Structure 1
Amino acid sequence: MRKILCALLTMTLLLSISLSSNYFVKASSQVILDDQLQEVLFTESGPFEVIVTFNATGAPTNNQMQLLKDLGIKIGTTMKSLPMAGIVATKAQIEKLTESDEVFSIYLNKRLEYVNDISTAVTGVDKLRTDDQFRKQNGGLPVTGKGVGIVVNDSGVDGTHKDIEYGRNLVQNVLGTTNLSSITGIVPVSYTEGVINTDTNSGHGTHVAGTVGGTGAMSAGKHEGVAPGADLIGYGSGGALLVLDSLGGFDYAITHQEEYNIRIITNSWGSSGDFDPYDPVNIASKAAFDRGIVVLFAAGNEGPGENTHNPYAKAPWVISVAAGEKSGKLADFSSRGTKGVGGTFTLNGQEWTWEDRPTITAPGVDIISTKTVSPLTLLSADVDAAMIETAYLPYYTVMSGTSMATPHVAGIVALLLEANPLLSPSDVKELLQKTATNMPGYESWEVGAGYVNAYAAVDKAFSNRPYGETVNLYENFNSEVESETTQQDFSIDYNPVTLVSDNAHVFTVTEGLSSLVAKVNGEGILSQTGNSINLVLVAPDGTEYSSGISLLFPLYYDRTVSVNNPMPGTWKAELRGLRGEEINPTDGIALPEVVNGTLKFSRVSGYTGLDDIEGHEASEAIKMAVSERLLDGYQNGTFKPDQQLKRIELAKYLVMGAEIRQYLPENTTLLDVESHNVAYAEAVTARGAAFKDIRQVFDGVMKAKEDGTFASEDSVTRTELAYSLVQALGLQEEATSFSGVLTVQYGEERVVIKDADQIPTELKGYVQLALDLNILNAYFEITQGTYELTPTVYATFAPSQTVTRGDFAVAISRYYHAFLTQ
């Protein structure tokens, strides 16, 4: 995961300690160094990004700041309330700091990873549990899946784990015994009920069960499952699963449906090959469907290629679940269907239509859930230690796969069935798809309807509001673009003290490319601190295209440059370091590092519905944006690139291609919006609109007017567009905390924006980030007097300039590349 919590900016470890206390006064004269810092000091040459904690009760004192200056430390940032400074220091400087009585400790600025409570936050499960209206509709209690029976058809479940304790939320635990070699004669299927632990050689099923409905008892609720109120029924077949074993699980679910109110069976296993509706597993899943049981299957982990979809997940009566990252992207390993493939068949006299695609996408990368001791969980010990708090390590483990995404959706289904027990399996499948969040750059054969949205799904289960009007899966688009993309990997052994030509990769651009996208990862020390490198593409004629050095480089390691309609010939990808007064009035330099990168070359092979774009400067950006479903043309086959972008068009395109969650209130307050546009306007103005707003607490990605109207037909200014696109990246905190001078990268210097005073103070941070992330560009002017030895560069932003549809195509295509790297 590339977006991390940076200790330098979000140090929360000590928030529970009263700031008025004198906690940081050390008992001895020895300065504390953390183990990782000691390791890198021994193995690396530096410089190093570290956090210094001083002996103080508030912000660093003047004496402490002077200490840093006396040591020649010139890059750093200090906290406002905590006695801490994040600095870049050499080994010698760190050694000097350890000799000072002013210093309490020095720690490496290491990466802090997200944990599994993020999964339930990103899908809206946390939000719906605390929703007052939902509680009222649910008899005054939170929606937890209470009373809904879920069969976990897997390797088994360890009922000794307090999160899934046998006799409590694990109401039955069954050991399947379908080993034919141990059977004499033809006998009924047998199984042993009441087995406390049936997961003795895998751990897979225990992890799945915790995701579905673990109570989080061993982590004070932090690693709670999606539906902790549900009744779990484990059906374990051991580590080696055969078809007969899986059929035993379906058989048990149908046989005991009334006894345990079984409404769901989740299956995190599969096979390969073509879809066969008459396969016994598909027959069994259809039988469960006919009994009102919702059947879920993992899409498979054979991606990213086409035609890798689990054949059992293709049955039209089941829910197939793809694995997404918590950032909103599709996991590379997640199996894909096949574009345009499907068909019809008849089963028991009924005709069915199937499509080779997942139904929905859910979190499936680095999922923390319940652990049982097994060889499988022992293999992940290093990952567990890095991601899980020490106190919780005995009880939880990290796994990735569509196996982890599927039980997440199974838990959401339990919430839906508690909210509305009358929902049929078909109703549930349709409801999940109609409330999904569009995933930019992916088609339905890859991600289904999009990323699951538990909050909207439960809302629809209670209210049956008309969700689905904004889902791309159900849209008929006016414009179509066919394109092909190839990728090349490269690496540069970056050394800031050598010539630029030594820090470059040479490559060839062929005739007729529609776009070139270059990306590198400047990860820094131990892949944890970020590196202040600038990626520059140099065209054959010397024109430079720069990624710039974002002020957020410790948070976001990727640098991306996109060039539409690149000139054919020999290009160079150069790495340049931060120098001079580009962030602070100090002298700085990027760090040595082997930097890995990719080059993507796209070529448009054909398009329709864009009759008026040829020869326009934004034509290639328009084609790219249409091909990725980031925007659309008009019904009459035109795009009108020079026409002003309307606010309602911006709303539609943000929901279409910027991963904006659906939201439909009971009564809209935007009374000037036409009924067919209400879903778009409400989505973009709602709190927590952006998918990358993990906790769903930030403002919307567009703002209503001061009089409460939406003003659909009004134009959009460049400042407003900067706000919307940066807000859609989940960067509200970074944008609103900005208080410096507005600048833009030009070559190897930062140039002040001349018209910054025309930008409202509260929006300057959004403009700064839009410039730094290369979503929007500044306008440069170079002047030179008759006797001046060097020219002067001026930069403006034109904040009140209105945005055309062509302008937006360029901006949203750049946003798309920024989205993929955040």
Structure 2
Amino acid sequence: MGKLSKSLLAISIVILLSIGSIFLLQNDKETTNNPNLENRFQAPSKIQNIKHNKNVLHINSIEMGETIKNHLRNDPSVSLIKHNNKNESHYHKREVTVKFSRHPDNPEIARMTNDINGNVVKYLDSTIVFKSNELSTSELIQYFNSQPDVIFAEPNYIYLQNQISFPNDLLYREQYQWNLPVIQTEAGWDITKGDEKIIIAVVDTGVDLNHPDLRKRLTKGYNVLENNDYPDDDNGHGTHVAGIIASETNNREGIAGITWYNKIMPIKAMGAEGYGSTFDIAKGIIWAADHGAKVINLSLGNYHPSSLMKEAVKYAFEKNAVIISAAGNDNSNHPSFPAAYPEVLGVSAVSYSGQRAPFSNYGDYIDVSAPGVQIPSTYFNKQYAALSGTSMASPHVAGLAGLILSANPNLTNKDVMNIIKSTAYDLGAPGKDNDFGSGLIDVQKALQAVHSK
């Protein structure tokens, strides 16, 4: 990979993704004329149920995301990049991520830290994050690009968090979960409800390890930030994502997950503020791939391709992991990463009316779509919350990938991706389009396709 020029500094990166909000605006895009569309999307009364349920927190997560962005804009340790009037990215000032062809020895590191008047912040194999007390990020990139054995040097980017008898779970029984019927989840459970051997990693803010709807569904995880095995959630986002995938189903409380038996591997790579660095998220992806995750959900992203993130995604993909990522919440067609990488299934959000959610990003990198408006799920501190966003759409696809591999664990990640896309329910313009990709995921048809092989 070639050296990064000074101009790369001007394109550092971050942002986005994660959560959306309780938007119920209509999208200008017309949905398909398919006569079955009206039957599939009959959810307004259920949405009202969510609104009036006092046991479910109602969080304007789009507004929350803007609060995080405002904080980063005013943080003196963070630099801002404006891609256009709508999309922006951030990176840590005076920091640089450097990939060496070999790990430098101690004298070499001492020489380089002395040259930059700084120190080593973090390292992973031959990738090291350096911080200087006086040099700017562009000066650091220029310095390291002049050093031997450097493959790339780039800013340390910041990422934001962008049932067959029916289950007896309380919020499911009362029809608050419009999202599961619309993707034909219950019919799919006739084929498989999952397999605890197929592990789904959630690289996020962690998971509430004591949540009554999740504590029995978790396997060993990792806290990247603290370098320990206690990935507890102090933000709520990761717990919500995990609950959509695998909240304990048929236990007479809370919500029903897409899978009854697949385990969640919680990876904490973002902090309480709701964002994390390229380095930490990449390290979380690699850890998940190395520890047996067959599916990796990334409800996060930014607007600039990172060499380190690309390497982490490629590493996990070559280990046969299915990788799913949210498209972003800025109603923009600017490609978001990692969703736009070819090894990743990029997911846009659909509202209960069958239209693209008004906040959802779109573009030719969208592979499929999934429900993303007012999705009830688990939340930290043993609570439940209804959130919106492409962050909520992505775990629907991760849960489906887990079910597909449960039905046939011998499938490759490419097989799983193709099944998910080829069996999607067409929305919008006929065929693949920029709003919905191949369409709305269909659990039943996807599992039937596996079963027929």
User: Could you tell me the TM-score, scaled by structure 2's length?
Assistant: 0.59
Q: Does residue 367 of the first structure (1) align with residue 393 of the second (2)?
A: no
Q: Note closer, same or farther for the CA distance 1:420–1:216 as it changes in structure 2 (3 Å cut).
A: closer
Match of 1:300 in 2: 328
Describe how 1:276-675 pairs up with structure 2 within 5 A. 276=305, 279-303=307-331, 305=332, 307-337=333-363, 356-373=364-381, 395-441=383-429, 444-464=433-453
> For 1:6 and 1:267, how far apart are their aligned partners in 2?
31
In structure 2, C-alpha distance between the alignment counterparts of 1:117 and 1:127, rounded to whole Å: 15
Counterparts of 1:632-781 in structure 2 under 5 Å? none
Contact 1:320–1:359 under 8 Å retained in 2 = yes
1:210 counterpart residue number: 243
Note the alpha carbon deviations across 1:692-720, whole angstroms, 9 max, x for none.
xxxxxxxxxxxxxxxxxxxxxxxxxxxxx
Q: CA deviation at 1:357?
A: 1.9
Does residue 175 of the first structure (1) align with residue 223 of the second (2)? yes
* Inter-partner Cα distance in structure 2 for 1:266 and 1:123: 18
Local SS of the residue matching 2:264: strand
Q: Is the alpha carbon distance of 1:6 and 1:371 closer, same or farther for their aligned partners in structure 2, counting shifts above 3 Å?
A: closer
The alpha-carbon deviation at position 445 of structure 1 amounts to 1.9
Q: 1:223/1:416 Cα in 2 relative to 1: closer, same or farther (>3 Å)?
A: same
Say whether the 8 Å CA contact 2:220–2:265 is kept in structure 1.
yes
- Could you say if the C-alpha distance between residues 441 and 255 of structure 1 is closer, same or farther in structure 2, counting changes exceeding 3 Å? closer
In structure 2, distance between residues paired with 1:115 and 1:285:
37
Q: Is the 8 A contact 2:327 2:366 kept in 1?
A: yes
Q: Which amino acid aligns with 1:248?
A: K
Equivalent residue number for residue 286 of structure 2:
251
Please state whether the residue corresponding to 2:301 is helix, strand or coil. Answer: coil
Q: Is the 8 A contact 1:159 1:173 kept in 2?
A: no
Instruction: State yes or no: 1:198 paired with 2:232.
Output: yes
Counterparts of 1:116 and 1:293 in 2: how far apart (Å)?
Answer: 32
Give the Cα–Cα distance (whole angstroms) in 1 for the partners of residues 214 and 390 of structure 2: 21
State the alpha-carbon separation in 2 of the partners of residues 398 and 5 from structure 1.
15
Q: Residue 158 of structure 1 corresponds to which residue in structure 2?
A: 208
Deviation (angstroms), 1:401: 0.4
- In structure 2, the residue corresponding to 1:272 is in which secondary structure? coil
| C-alpha deviation, 1:221, in angstroms | 5.4
Task: Give deviations 1:372-421, integer Å, cap 9, x for gaps.
Answer: 14xxxxxxxxxxxxxxxxxxxx6310110010010111001000001111
TM-aligned CA deviation for residue 441 of structure 1: 4.2
- What is the distance in 2 between the residues matched to 1:204 and 1:115? 23
Q: What corresponds to 2:199 in structure 1?
A: 149
Give 1:327 shift.
Answer: 2.6
Asked if 2 retains the 8 angstrom alpha-carbon contact of 1:123 and 1:454, the reply is yes
For the Cα contact (< 8 Å) 2:286–2:315, is it kept in 1? Answer: no
Letter in 1 for 2:314: K
Whole-angstrom CA distance in 2 between matches of 1:6 and 1:172: 39
The corresponding residue for 2:87 is: none
CA distance in 1, matches of 2:339, 2:286: 18
1:302 Cα deviation from its structure 2 partner: 1.2
Q: Retained in 2: the 8 A contact 1:263–1:293?
A: yes
Whether the 8 Å contact between 2:254 and 2:384 is mirrored in structure 1 is no
Go from structure 1 to structure 2 and tell me whether the alpha carbon gap of 1:5 and 1:357 turns closer, same or farther (over 3 Å shift): closer
SS state at 1:170 partner: coil
C-alpha distance in structure 2 between counterparts of 1:4 and 1:169, whole Å: 28
CA contact (8 A) 2:44 2:352 kept: no
After TM superposition, give the deviation of residue 256 of structure 1 in Å: 1.4
Check whether the contact 1:174–1:198 (CA below 8 A) recurs between aligned residues.
Answer: no
Distance in 2, matches of 1:4 and 1:416, equals 26
**Deviations 1:602-661 (CA, angstroms, capped at 9, x unpaired):** xxxxxxxxxxxxxxxxxxxxxxxxxxxxxxxxxxxxxxxxxxxxxxxxxxxxxxxxxxxx
CA change 1:236–1:292 in 2 (3 A) is same
Which residue does the alignment assign to 1:641? none
Higher relative contact order (CA 8 A, sep 6+): 2
Output the CA distance in 1 between the equivalents of 2:281 and 2:337. 14
1:290-310 Cα shifts (integer Å, max 9, x gaps): 11111111111111x4x2331
SS in 2 for 1:127: helix
Deviation at 1:315, TM superposition (A): 1.0
Aligned-partner Cα distance in 1 for 2:294–2:249? 23
Deviations 1:111-146 (A, max 9, x none): xxx9552211111111121x2xx2xxxxxxx42243
Question: In structure 2, which of residues 249, 254, 260 is the aligned counterpart of residue 228 of structure 1?
Answer: 260
Q: Do the aligned residues in 2 keep the contact of 1:322 with 1:405 (CA within 8 Å)? A: yes
Partner of 2:99: none
Aligned to 2:127: none
- The sequence identity of aligned pairs, in percent, is 30
Alpha-carbon shift at residue 175 of structure 1 (Å): 1.4
Provide the rounded CA distance (Å) in 2 between the counterparts of 1:155 and 1:6: 32
Q: Which has the larger radius of gyration?
A: 1
Match of 1:267 in 2: 298
- CA offsets, 1:747-774, max 9 Å, x none? xxxxxxxxxxxxxxxxxxxxxxxxxxxx
Rounded Cα–Cα distance in structure 2 between residues aligned with 1:269 and 1:451: 20
- In structure 1, how many angstroms separate the alpha carbons of the residues matched to 2:378 and 2:205? 14
Cα 1:6–1:421 shift into 2, 3 Å: closer
User: Distance between the aligned counterparts of 2:451 and 2:406, measured in 1?
Assistant: 10
- Cα deviations by residue, 1:568-603 (Å, 9 ceiling, x for unpaired): xxxxxxxxxxxxxxxxxxxxxxxxxxxxxxxxxxxx
Aligned match for 1:124, one of 184, 196, 200: 184
> Could you say if the C-alpha distance between residues 326 and 144 of structure 1 is closer, same or farther in structure 2, counting changes exceeding 3 Å?
farther
Alpha carbons 1:157, 1:173 under 8 Å: kept: no
Q: Point out where structure 2 has 5 or more consecutive residues left out of the alignment.
A: 1-23, 27-41, 50-173
C-alpha distance in 1 between matches for 2:297 and 2:44: 33
Query: How has the CA–CA distance of structure 1 residues 4 and 255 changed in structure 2, closer, same or farther, with 3 Å as cutoff?
Result: closer
> Aligned with 1:192: secondary structure?
coil
SS of residue paired to 1:117: coil
Tell me what 2:153 maps to.
Answer: none
Does structure 1 conserve the Cα–Cα contact (< 8 Å) formed by 2:193 and 2:260?
A: no
**Pair 1:206–1:430, CA change in 2 (3 A):** same
Where 1:241 maps in the other structure, the secondary structure is strand
Contact 2:200–2:265 (Cα < 8 Å) also in 1 = yes
| Aligned position for 2:122 | none
Structure 2: distance between partners of 1:126 and 1:315: 31
Contact 1:264 1:410 in 2 (8 A): yes
Structure 1 runs (4+) greater than 3 angstroms displaced? 1-7
